[in-house]
Amino acid sequence: MGRAALVVSAGVLLSRILGLLREVALADLIGANAAGDAYRVAFIIPDFLNYLLAGGYMAITFIPILSRHFADQDEPGAWRAFVAVARPVGLAMAVTVAVGMLVAGQVIEALTDLDPEAAKEATRLTRIILPAQFFFVVGTLLMAVQYARERFLIPTLAPIIYNLMIILGGLALTDRGDPSADGFAWGVLAGAIIGNFLIQAYGAFREGLRLPSGVPLANPILREYLFLALPLMLGQSLVVLDESFARVFGTQLGEGPTSQLGFARQTMLVPIGVVAQAAGVAAYPYLSRLAEEGKLRQLTTALARAVRYVTVASMMATGVLVALSVPVIRALFERGQFGPADTTAAASALVFYAIGIPFWGVQQLLARGFYARRQMWTPVLVGTASTVLAVPIYIVLKEVMDIRGIALASTVSVALYTVVLAVIWLHRTGTHVLAGVSHTVGRALVPTIAAGVAAWLAADLVSDVAGGFAGAVLQTATGGTAAAVVFLGLAGWMGTMQQVSDD
């Protein structure tokens, strides 16, 4: 599991770097304005359709089915299962994309406070981006074939190519004199076709995928898949709707905050992706195998250890981003159409987003623990309840704290979701791992605070050496180095890392 996590982590790291470069290009060429807001709002309908068909969770629901066939040495059965699921799912997504094209304008006007011209632009961009969802969904099933074979390299290329195509599209097709996000939108579609579909088809066929004919529409595998996926289709979780909340509530603050929140949130997602997402993706096939073999105590122990690693790394990331929010945002985005006022707003949002990093990390692992045990309804019901409760939290905090309130509402909501999910997991699996997790958090708290203070002091010390981009990079590098030295030194002295390694 650790070796697989390294492969996935390296891929996620590269993907997140490209994702940041994508945001850098967007900030430079478009900025935090009406055009930038329209581009982000254009993802509301495509993302919802993807969630509606459980696109983000297809691999999770399909891997156990394929793994069972592979464990029984029944490859023909696995390929029949693939056809039985891919055929109706692909057709359903094609139909929903067509419907989305028709209702895009009305939905955007109903959900957002964009002015008429920006809403019209968001509608046009939506219709460019929407077809990408078909390739995302089918591509996810192709990735599931590879994950079930415990092959991770080619699936990790999907987000890398996706982000690269968006960057290339934006650079090639954006006119600085009259900027619009068309190039970025076309890049989304090209990235989905190439990275998420064509290359994944190659990877799946390389693992032996065949497309047999004569598979009945009423195949029992389809019913099994729908039974596993139905909770994810019906329950819209806070995890998948949080970004849409930022887009919707951001438009209520006028022109710019939606984009500023997007830049801050993407920055926060880098450590989550590299640490938690990599651990979750790599761990899930192994957790599923332990569940299939009935080794539930080993599953619980393996998950607890992963939670401890992710918690320590996430807490360090929180301390660094809170302390260095301004120089980080300035170094990444302050150029072209993105000005100093945008930096201040985005950095203030990043502080409150960053506090939630450990909760995001733990949630990703806990949810996969439930999925591995085929307890799909639990995270969905908890997530749906958290989503309902999140709406008034967003409304209140937005009114009190503006853009910072939206970021804080995200953190409060995901913290609530994670805590409830953890309580249910411990109730079902036993509390024998709780002491170890608690000790790890306790021993990481002091190094985290000290690292954050060290980062802030070091950045402040060099703040007068240089200004602009060079100064921001110097502050970030100096502060980050100081944080790493202090955190690792204190963690080693306090035995934090040893605590993580212990069972």
pLDDT at 54: 55
Are both 298 and 417 inside the same structural domain? yes
If one compares 427 and 152, the residue with the highest pLDDT of the two is 427
pLDDT at 368: 86
If one compares 289 and 21, the residue with the highest pLDDT of the two is 21
Asked if 437 and 307 touch (Cβ cutoff 8 Å), the reply is yes
pLDDT at 349: 97
Question: Would you say residue 11 lies in a domain?
Answer: no
If one compares 27 and 13, the residue with the highest pLDDT of the two is 27
**Mean pLDDT, range 306-312, rounded to an integer:** 88
As to burial, measured by CB atoms within 10 angstroms (0-12 exposed, 13-18 middle, 19+ buried), residue 216 is exposed
pLDDT at 458: 95
Residue 499's pLDDT band (boundaries 50, 70, 90)?
low
Quick: pLDDT tens for 66-113: 888 888 888 998 999 999 989 998 998 999 999 999 999 999 999 999
pLDDT at 204: 94
pLDDT at 125: 97
Instruction: Indicate the residue among 234, 268, 288 that finishes a domain.
Output: 234
Question: Would you say residue 406 lies in a domain?
Answer: yes
**Mean pLDDT, range 288-308, rounded to an integer:** 86
pLDDT at 11: 77
| Closest to 325 measured CA to CA, from 485, 486, 481, 472 | 472
Interacting residues of 119 by C-beta distance below 8 A, sequence separation 6+: 38, 41, 105, 108, 109, 112
Boundaries of domain holding 84:
33-234
181 pLDDT higher than 90: yes
Are both 177 and 258 inside the same structural domain? no
Question: What is the DSSP secondary-structure string of 79-95?
Answer: HHHHHHHHHHHHHHHHH
Residue 235's pLDDT band (boundaries 50, 70, 90)?
low
If one compares 10 and 123, the residue with the highest pLDDT of the two is 123
Question: Would you say residue 152 lies in a domain?
Answer: yes
Are both 245 and 192 inside the same structural domain? no
Rounded distance between C-alpha atoms, residue 48 and residue 67, angstroms = 29
Are both 251 and 284 inside the same structural domain? yes
Quick: pLDDT tens for 359-386: 998 998 898 888 888 887 888 888 888 8
Instruction: Indicate the residue among 201, 234, 267 that finishes a domain.
Output: 234
Are both 200 and 250 inside the same structural domain? no
484 pLDDT higher than 90: yes
Are both 184 and 247 inside the same structural domain? no
Domain count for the chain:
2
pLDDT at 57: 62
pLDDT at 500: 55
Quick: pLDDT tens for 28-67: 999 999 999 999 999 999 988 877 765 556 667 788 888 8
Asked if 323 and 370 touch (Cβ cutoff 8 Å), the reply is no
pLDDT at 199: 97
Quick: pLDDT tens for 457-475: 999 999 888 888 999 999 9
Residue 268's pLDDT band (boundaries 50, 70, 90)?
very high
Question: Would you say residue 329 lies in a domain?
Answer: yes
Percent of the chain with pLDDT over 70: 93
Question: Would you say residue 362 lies in a domain?
Answer: yes
SS3 helix, strand, coil % of the chain, rounded to 5? 85, 0, 15
Rounded distance between C-alpha atoms, residue 467 and residue 455, angstroms = 18
If one compares 140 and 61, the residue with the highest pLDDT of the two is 140
Are both 150 and 274 inside the same structural domain? no
Are both 216 and 294 inside the same structural domain? no
**Mean pLDDT, range 433-437, rounded to an integer:** 80
pLDDT at 502: 55
Asked if 229 and 204 touch (Cβ cutoff 8 Å), the reply is no
Tokens read off for 429: 């699996």
Question: Would you say residue 20 lies in a domain?
Answer: no
Are both 158 and 223 inside the same structural domain? yes
Rounded distance between C-alpha atoms, residue 303 and residue 436, angstroms = 12
Q: To 5 degrees, how large is the angle CA 410–CA 236–CA 108?
A: 80
What is the overall mean pLDDT for the chain? 88
pLDDT at 263: 95
Are both 177 and 321 inside the same structural domain? no
Are both 55 and 135 inside the same structural domain? yes
Question: Would you say residue 221 lies in a domain?
Answer: yes
pLDDT at 236: 55
Instruction: Indicate the residue among 182, 205, 234 that finishes a domain.
Output: 234
Rounded distance between C-alpha atoms, residue 57 and residue 284, angstroms = 12
Asked if 284 and 63 touch (Cβ cutoff 8 Å), the reply is yes
Are both 278 and 426 inside the same structural domain? yes
Interacting residues of 395 by C-beta distance below 8 A, sequence separation 6+: 249
Question: Would you say residue 18 lies in a domain?
Answer: no
